[in-house]
Copies of this chain bind each other. A is one copy, B any other.
């Protein structure tokens, strides 16, 4: 004998299994005496309903599949926190899979999770191929895409308006008294980067300032260090006193370059990152940056997904745009 089943409870309580089921689910009236007998039997046997069986008959697994590119990436972990915590409120549990950027692994995960009868997917990835998107659609299981670069049409999602955030950040830097602001963006032609450049440009144009953009070929702190010379040269030639970089890691590399070359941050030059990764508040100088509320994005995503599962998804007929906050710290003034 393994775990006690509803039959064992029924036998011990001297009622039928339907009555036990009714007590458990409060689905139909049960006489107080019968209810008490059932409750006693449940307690005595320490009975726990088998959710697998329940899911099977109710055609409802209360499971959502979360496929994450790499849980080791800080912001993805933050997203999962929000998903998990809010999902639980709605009695949904998370089935977690990682794809490590491998298209094949992603496809397998989708299939696998579909066989587990997940009611929805949340896909957390830097980028998603059209093929994968197609595959996802074929399952006919609702999904939410949380990637950084996607620009698909007809696909509602929860996201950050990077253009607006970069616009705000740029204006903030000017408002601090900087006469010129350099933006260091990505050489890659992706939606994320283009949005930030557009936001920077909008602020520049609005203020009637001159545009200075340097493009970098990578997004690590090393890349930030390596762009240092070129960026500093541009700054010196043009009286630039503030540099806004595409992310925190690159910004930190850039600050390192400055430190190695006698340039004081923020005294000689103000520096801003983007993202508010954990290192931004530990590094010295602490980094001025834009805090992306990943937890909230995760939370809203799972709520939206569940609404969609329940077919109440008028609410997600448009994208959710999440506002970020500028976090002013030591690296800028």
Q: How far is the CA of A284 from the CA of B115 in the complex (A)?
A: 48
A80 within 8 A of B: yes
A207 at the interface (CB under 8 A from B): no
Report the Cα distance A223→B253, complex, angstroms: 26
CB A23 to nearest CB in B, in angstroms, measures: 16
Count contacts on A: residues with CB < 8 A to the other chain: 48
**With a CB–CB cut-off of 8 A, which chain B residues contact A113?**
93
Interface locus among A54-62, A121-129, A233-241 = A54-62
Bound complex: CA of A251 vs CA of B51, how far in Å? 47
Q: Say yes or no for A95: interface residue by CB 8 A criterion.
A: yes
Judge whether A94 and B93 touch: CB under 8 Å: no
The yes or no answer to A70 lying at the interface (CB within 8 A) is: yes
- A51 CA / B116 CA spacing, docked (Å): 5
- As a 0/1 sequence over residues 274 to 296 of chain A, the CB contacts with chain B under 8 angstroms (1 = contact) are 00001100111000000000000
A316 within 8 A of B: no
Contacts A48-B115, A52-B116 known; 20 new A-B pairs at CB < 8 A: A48-B111, A48-B114, A50-B56, A51-B116, A52-B52, A52-B117, A53-B56, A66-B96, A70-B81, A71-B71, A71-B84, A77-B77, A85-B98, A93-B96, A93-B113, A94-B97, A95-B95, A95-B96, A259-B284, A279-B279
Q: Can you list 12 A-B pairs, Cβ within 8 angstroms, ordered by A?
A: A48-B111, A52-B117, A71-B71, A72-B77, A72-B78, A74-B74, A93-B97, A95-B96, A96-B96, A249-B282, A252-B282, A282-B283
A binding-site residues for B, Cβ under 8 Å: 2, 46, 48-53, 55-56, 59, 61, 66, 70-72, 74, 77-78, 80-81, 84-85, 88, 93-98, 111-117, 138, 221, 249, 252, 256, 259, 278-279, 282-284
